[in-house]
Amino acid sequence: MIPLLQSHRQPVAWNRHGPIDGRTFLGDVYHLSERLPTTGNAILNVCEDRYRFLVTLTAGLVCKRPNLLPPSTVPEALKQVVSDRERPVCVTDGVPCPEGVACVEFHEPPGCSAPSERIPAFSGDQIMAEVFTSGSTGRPRSNPKRWGEMVSGATRIGRRLGLDQDERGSLVATVPPQHMFGLETSIMLGLRWGWGFHTGRPFFPRNLAEALSEVPEPRILITTPLHLRACIAEKTALPGLRFILSATAPLSTEMARTAERQFGCPVQEIYGSTETGAMASRRSAEGTGWEPFEGFRIHREGSHWLAEADHLSRPVRLDDRLKENGDGTLELLGRTADLVKIAGKRGSLGDLNHKLHSIDGVEDGTFLVPHASDGDVHRLAAVVVAPTRTKRELLQELGKRIDPVFLPRPLQCVKALPRNASGKLSRERLLKLLSKT
Amino acid sequence: MSERFEKQVAELIVDALNLDVEPEDIRPEEPMFGEGLGLDSIDALELAMAISKKYGFQLRSDDGDNANIFASLRSLSAHIAENAK
């Protein structure tokens, strides 16, 4: 059995009014677990406030009911996540519940119930959450996560990053706690090491700076290359940082160096996936090699790479092409051909093309990945043959079928695709067609 | 809110986000995110950078205000007009 907290005095979270300690938190957890309908099983957790998210997650642990963590809060995704569950419950602080699902509205501020000093402990084998992978078009897939593996994951990450058992600080995160990276870092790292997190999810650089000023030093900023780029461009002051933790897309060495200079702290990056959790890390300003976490074995088998670890029931096939460096670190070469990742969401070009072809009036067409100028952020493009449809109509039709991050920019309508004699598309000629827009 | 200013903001949006539409095709009341123009959170950050560069102020969102600022070209233009330096 592993206890939830080390002490009921530990600050679990911070908001602009100050710390929320373990006693307050435990009181809120027990109160919510009593409010949950007693029938049914899984809990769909769509809380946007990080504290309410954790209260809901923990109430699930207390009642032995796993939290379902959706890849996004668009209605279609929520519907799919609960589709084969018996009488699921949705806990929300704003996002509309999917139709036909019992809804528990959770709007109370922290500390509305009697505090408690009773620290629960859970079996390492208990399923804490099912984290769903996005997938551009297919059904979201469940990845069960046990309480024990999440705690040991947070232990590994904290050790690698040099956290100290006796030191306390705080976390601010721009990533949602429903995603694996956000869950492992902003929630689990905080619980395990006693670092309280900021309850909000700041978005614009200015909000980020404000959130940081509301929590005590030292601070860890948990974010993505997109937010870092915006903070660099806006010359945002991010004071009192111990380090910045980035994931979801690789940072260029150059950007990492700029960030380290500008914000005066190391930038650490995590390489991971929903299926495996954090697998490796690097300090991006100092080199491109990823150092696998203790317990992970990442090796090649045939044409693809596998990750193995004690907490994984079987080897996980990775979507990335890797290379072993002589010193035990790994080089990330790129994604396997069919896979694209935009704004942290994974999609398959094959799936996207299939959806494109399913639109009435589309005779031929393909998605492609144009080269990004900075190597970090890019959009997809599409070249389409659909003489009877306008660009606007095509984009609207696509918008109904795929996640907006995958919408092509530009979408170029042409009379015919540049296919060679064997019917294969020439990437160069496709790119030429695009550059004519 | 002058139509001319809205058009200026529409041009900024199309330019900053590399959108495949003409500025005059953006309807002032049309939702910009999700359905409508189909923008997402990457665009919001991108737009924030472009706005700060051109109009000299940094966007920030108060609780729940985010949705209002970015609801439409009209609301965004109004917000910029109010805050521009």
Nearest to A404 among B38, B45, B49 (CB): B38
Q: CB-based burial of residue A374 (10 Å sphere; 0-12 exposed, 13-18 middle, 19+ buried)?
A: exposed
What are residue A104's DSSP bridge partners?
A: A91
pLDDT digit string, tens, across residues B5-63 = 999 999 999 988 877 788 998 889 888 876 667 777 778 888 889 999 999 888 887 65
Q: Report the distance separating Cα B44 and Cα B54, nearest Å.
A: 15
CATH of domain A339-435: 3.30.300.30
Nearest to B60 among A207, A391, A405 (CB): A207
Contact B58 A204 (CB under 8 A): yes
Nearest to B66 among A203, A229, A408 (CB): A203
Contact A409 B17 (CB under 8 A): yes
**What pLDDT shows up at residue A376?**
45
Backbone angles phi, psi at A378, to 5 degrees: -150, 165
Q: For residues A140 and A132, is the Cβ–Cβ distance under 8 A?
A: yes
> What b/e string do you get for A306-341 counting C-beta neighbours within 10 Å, with b at 16 or more?
bbebebbeebbebbbbbeeeeeebbebeeeeeebbb
Mutate to test the interface with A, among B13, B19, B45 (most CBs of A within 10 A): B45
Q: For residues A377 and A370, is the Cβ–Cβ distance under 8 A?
A: no
**What pLDDT shows up at residue A374?**
47
Amino acid sitting at position B81? A
pLDDT digit string, tens, across residues A263-310 = 999 999 999 999 999 999 999 999 899 999 999 999 999 888 999 999
C-alpha closest to that of A67 among A51, A89, A83? A89
Contact A405 B44 (CB under 8 A): no
* Residue B1 C-alpha, separation from nearest chain A C-alpha, in angstroms: 25
Q: Which part of chain A has CATH 3.40.50.12780? A: 1-146, 202-336
Looking at the domain A1-146, which fold is it? Answer: Rossmann fold (3.40.50)
Q: Report the distance separating Cα A363 and Cα A419, nearest Å.
A: 14
- Please say whether the structural domain A202-336 has been given the CATH code 3.40.50.280: no
Backbone angles phi, psi at A199, to 5 degrees: -70, -20
pLDDT digit string, tens, across residues A380-402 = 999 999 999 998 899 888 888 88
Does B17 lie at the interface with A, CB-CB under 8 angstroms? yes
Contact B58 A391 (CB under 8 A): no
User: Is the dihedral angle over the CA atoms A115, A118, A124, A127 positive or is it negative?
Assistant: negative
Contact A207 B48 (CB under 8 A): no
Contact A407 B45 (CB under 8 A): no
Does B82 lie at the interface with A, CB-CB under 8 angstroms? no
**What pLDDT shows up at residue B58?**
86
Nearest to A234 among B19, B34, B52 (CB): B52
CB-defined contacts A:B, below 8 A: 66
Q: Which residues of B touch A410 (CB under 8 A)?
A: 18, 20
What are residue A277's DSSP bridge partners?
A: A273
Q: Which residues of A touch B (CB under 8 A)?
A: 74, 94, 203-207, 210, 226-227, 229-230, 233-234, 236, 342-343, 377, 379, 391-392, 395, 399, 404-405, 407-411, 437
For residue A409, name the pLDDT band (cuts at 50, 70, 90).
Answer: confident
Q: How far is CA A156 from the centre of its chain?
A: 19
pLDDT digit string, tens, across residues A30-66 = 999 999 988 778 999 999 999 999 999 999 999 999 9
Residue of chain B with shortest Cα separation from A93? B64
Query: Which residue in the block uniquely carries the two structure tokens 């945002």?
Result: A236
- Where do the structural domains in chain B lie, given as residue ranges? 3-83
Looking at the domain B3-83, which fold is it? Answer: 1.10.1200
HSE-CB at B52 with a 13 A cutoff on CA atoms is 19
Q: Report the distance separating Cα A267 and Cα A251, nearest Å.
A: 10
Q: Which residues of A touch B64 (CB under 8 A)?
A: 94
Residue of chain A with shortest Cα separation from B25? A392
What are residue A219's DSSP bridge partners?
A: A170, A241
Does B39 lie at the interface with A, CB-CB under 8 angstroms? yes
pLDDT digit string, tens, across residues A151-176 = 999 999 999 999 998 899 999 999 99
Residue of chain A with shortest Cα separation from B52? A234
Mutate to test the interface with A, among B13, B15, B20 (most CBs of A within 10 A): B20
Query: Which residue in the block uniquely carries the two structure tokens 């940072």?
Result: A251
What are residue A267's DSSP bridge partners?
A: A244
Q: For residues A270 and A243, is the Cβ–Cβ distance under 8 A?
A: no
For residue A418, name the pLDDT band (cuts at 50, 70, 90).
Answer: confident
Q: Which part of chain A has CATH 3.30.300.30? A: 339-435
Where helices occur in chain B by DSSP H, the ranges are 3-17, 41-55, 66-69, 73-83
Angle between helices B41-55 and B3-17 (to 10 degrees): 120
